[in-house]
Amino acid sequence: MNSNSKSSMNMYECESELRRGPWTLEEDNLLIQYVSSHGEGRWNSLAKFAGLKRTGKSCRLRWLNYLKPDIKRGNLTPHEQLLILELHSKWGNRWSKIAQHLPGRTDNEIKNYWRTRVQKQARQLKVDSNSKKFLEAIRTFWMPRLMEKMEQNSPPMSPPSSSSAVPSSPAISQLAPPDSLCPNPVNNSYSSNILLEQISGPSVNLTAVKNQPEIPVEESYYNVGFPSCYDDMQGQEILLPDCHVADIDWFGEDLCSTFWNTDELWQFRK
DNA sequence: AAAGTTGGCAACCGCGAGTCA
DNA sequence: GTGACTCGCGGTTGCCAACTT
């Protein structure tokens, strides 16, 4: 027991019995039973009356992140990943807000995803994960790749209509119209101002991007769109590793399949 | 096979906002 | 107005399994 908890023992005599660390099955059951009969909220008293030797905070966290019935377990789908990238570019580290658009996913899970996967990419590119450059990279390379994965994963009978493009999650249907992600009408590219300005629009149109995977590589984002992105980035220092592509071990195998490939990366570095 | 390293994730912590007496 | 309390959020930590050497 640390000195902090010791210091508060006078006020809360029973605090010495407070448990910490991983939850046991018994505790989980107690919490589930109590919440299912009394509902959520009033976490401190809930902890007390449910007979849990945990703080209210701890109970709330356990419930929201793990025990709640509609929690979705398992890997994030490409669609969910895409949504996270998109919404993060719009709202930043507002994890709970982002989580609201991914039913069954918790803010903690999304935060962990961002820290372990996305920030890793940024580190490997030696750019800041919140930087415009990285945002460009995500949009130019990563998103189209996720689109491809979504395309591959979608059932063959699924029609290409935008409304049913991503049937796996209701979230996408909430993210409808505008063109925060649409190609720039002038040059048909994803100009960088879209990223930081249009993105602050009311919502996100993923289908606009989604419907393009059939475009030949020469005409796809990073060839049509990238030049403008690149122009925009010129004059800025792009601190990418001073090494040949062949030497790069930026991507594990998994990342190769989910993130950009070597050719794309090479273009980005160029 | 063992030791060391890395990655993923659950849980904790501190802080600020909201509520209420 | 204010202090106590609760809640929710974002950042951080620590554990453990998987992977590498």
**What are the boundaries of each domain within chain A?**
3-67, 78-269
The predicted pLDDT at position A142 comes to 76
Q: What is the pLDDT of residue A202?
A: 36
For A3-67, CATH number? 1.10.10.60
Question: What is the pLDDT at residue A106?
Answer: 87
Q: What is the pLDDT of residue A147?
A: 78
- In this complex, the answer to whether residue A57 has its CB under 7 A from any atom of chain B, a nucleic strand, is yes
Tally of residues, chain A: 270
Report chain C positions within 7 A of protein CB atoms: 5-12, 15
The runs of H, that is alpha helices, within A20-118 are: 25-38, 43-49, 56-62, 78-91, 95-99, 107-113
In this complex, the nucleotide whose C1' atom is nearest to the CA atom of residue A76 is B8
Is the distance between the Cβ of A264 and the closest atom of strand C smaller than 7 Å?
Answer: no
Distance A68 CA to C17 C1' (A): 25
* Residue A80 Cβ < 7 Å to strand B: no
CA nearest neighbour of A131 among A192, A79, A82, A87 = A192
Residues A192, A233 contacting (CB under 8 angstroms): yes
Which residues does A239 contact at the CB level (< 8 Å), separation at least 6? A126, A127
Measured CA to C1', the nucleotide nearest A61 is B11
Residue with tokens 């719009």: A90
Taking the CA of residue A60 and the C1' sugar atom of nucleotide B21, their distance in angstroms comes to 25
Statement: the CB of A48 is under 7 Å from strand C:
no
* Residue in this structure with the two tokens 């490997």, named with its chain if needed: A124
The tens-digit pLDDT sequence of chain A (270 residues) is 333 333 333 333 344 567 888 888 888 888 888 888 888 878 888 888 888 888 888 888 888 888 888 888 777 887 888 888 888 878 878 888 888 888 888 888 888 888 888 877 777 777 777 777 777 777 777 777 777 777 776 665 443 333 333 333 333 333 333 333 333 332 333 333 333 333 333 333 443 333 333 223 222 222 222 223 333 333 333 333 333 333 333 333 344 334 444 455 555 555
Residue A20 CA and nucleotide C15 C1' are separated, in Å, by 13
Give the CA-to-C1' distance from A19 to C1 in angstroms. 38
Could you tell me which of A114, A83, A239 has the C-alpha nearest to residue A268?
A: A239
Tokens 């796809």 found at: A220
For residue A72, the model assigns a pLDDT of: 82
A122 touches strand B (CB under 7 A): no
